[in-house]
Amino acid sequence: MNRKRASGISGALPNATGNQEQRFAKAFRVLDEAVAGHVFPGASLAVTYCGELVAWRGFGRFTYDAASPRVTPETVWDLASLTKPLATTAMAMLLYERGSLRLDAPVVERLPEFAHGDMLQRGWREVVTARMLLAHSAGLPAHRKLYLAAIGRKAMLTAAMRVPLETAPMERTEYSDIGFMVLGELLERIAGEELDDFCRREVFEPINLNFHFIRQPERIMEVPPTMIDTVYRARTIQGEVNDENASAMGGVAGQAGLFGDARSVACFAECLLRGGAPLFRPETVRLFTTRRNEPAGTSRTLGWDTPTPPSQAGEHFSQHSFGHLGYTGTSLWCDPDRRLSVTLVTNRTWPDASNQAIKQLRPAVHDAIVSSLEDD
């Protein structure tokens, strides 16, 4: 098996972490207690504020074993569904700016195989657009275990294209991994290039982000394990994507598969907070990070979420904030009003994903960080 070593520090982000132990003592204490309380074995935190990296620290170990490696600020993680905004949505933003992606064009124009089923399904599917896929309003379900019946990228994509819509498009918002699987394929058809290759050249390398998709059977070293898979792969999942559907696709998918360190996530966040330069135009950032008006009650933007009480971003992020979560225990929240971003990456799924305590932990960390900044 070929192995790559995870290394490198990303981005030209001014480092102002010299007094972080005192400045963010409350947030650090919350995270230390979370490790001690087995909310997760380890975590990395990166905070940007007013254009500077003000906190960047590791907590805990790779597993609960006292002999396992310690987490460092540079530790690389399975970013899980942060793949959606950091890679797939970023690709969509660039293709939109270049006039290649028309947000309101029917998906079936590029993916004719998406149009199938009975008369009702075909009628629904023929009006689904990229905008709906990005905003999770296409009518697709949240998840399907496609990996149990399909083998290989082609078979997985065929299965994803055939997942029935549960409602008419724009009837409701339903966060959907399946929708981003379809979106990833749509973007690849438009670009004539695979997602990982496009993002590496057009997104990651230009701002020096330590982001990688790991094409199976390769793995990267020195990455915290995410789970002991006793059902599908029958092995410890370490240095390969945790998401089973992404794994069945070979490690590269629109919904999951990206690996990276907390500082790289923070650098991407800072790019958006300063208006998109050098990757995107300001108007593109505003379009993709502003909450949609429809369907009624949605909290989604194009590729992102926004805080809705009770929010994982805590109580203090502004109404213009946007962010995203990942199944393995990852999160990024950005507040343009405060010029603040908080990246928290963990492996809360170790060893079996049963622990849900991170849902209480995330808001506490965000509230502690905002409180510390307000006390300055």
For residue range 31-61, list pLDDT tens digits in order: 999 999 999 999 999 999 999 999 999 999 9
In the chain, domain spans: 3-81+216-228+259-374
- Strand ranges for the chain from DSSP E: 3-5, 42-49, 52-60, 76-78, 211-213, 219-221, 227-229, 235-237, 258-261, 322-326, 330-335, 340-346
Give the three-class secondary structure for 154.
Answer: helix
What band does 6 get if pLDDT is binned at 50, 70 and 90? Answer: very low
For the cut 60, the answer to whether the pLDDT of residue 11 exceeds it is no
> Which residues have a Cβ under 8 Å from the Cβ of 8 and sit 6 or more positions away?
210
What strands lie across the sheet with 258-261, from one edge to the other? 76-78, 258-261, 211-213
**DSSP annotation string for 315-370:** S-S-TT-EEEEETTTEEEEEETTTTEEEEEEE-TTTTTS---THHHHHHHHHHHHH
CA 260 – CA 204 distance, rounded (Å) = 10
Residues 6+ apart with CB under 8 A from 297: 173
Q: CA angle at residue 136 from 78 to 319, to 5 degrees?
A: 85
Using a pLDDT cut of 70, give the percent of the chain over it.
Answer: 97
User: Tokens at residue 314, please?
Assistant: 């805590």
Compute CA 133 distance to the chain's CA centroid, rounded to the nearest angstrom. Answer: 15
pLDDT digits (tens, 9 = 90+) for 237-252: 999 999 999 999 999 9
Residue 3: its pLDDT value, please? 35
Average pLDDT over residues 302-329: 97
pLDDT tens, 71-87? 999 999 999 999 999 99
pLDDT for 375 = 83
pLDDT of residue 4: 40
Report residue 132 as tokens.
């709906």
Which amino acid is residue 116, in one-letter code?
H
Q: Residue holding tokens 């399975």?
A: 78
* pTM recorded for the entire structure: 0.95
Per-residue b or e along 222-242, where b marks 16 or more CB atoms closer than 10 Å to that residue's CB: ebbbbbbbeeeeeeebbbbbb
**Dihedrals φ, ψ of 308, to 5°?**
-135, 120
Q: SS3 for 273? A: helix
In CATH, what is the architecture of 3-81+216-228+259-374? 3-Layer(aba) Sandwich (3.40)
What CA–CA distance (Å, rounded) separates 217 from 134?
29
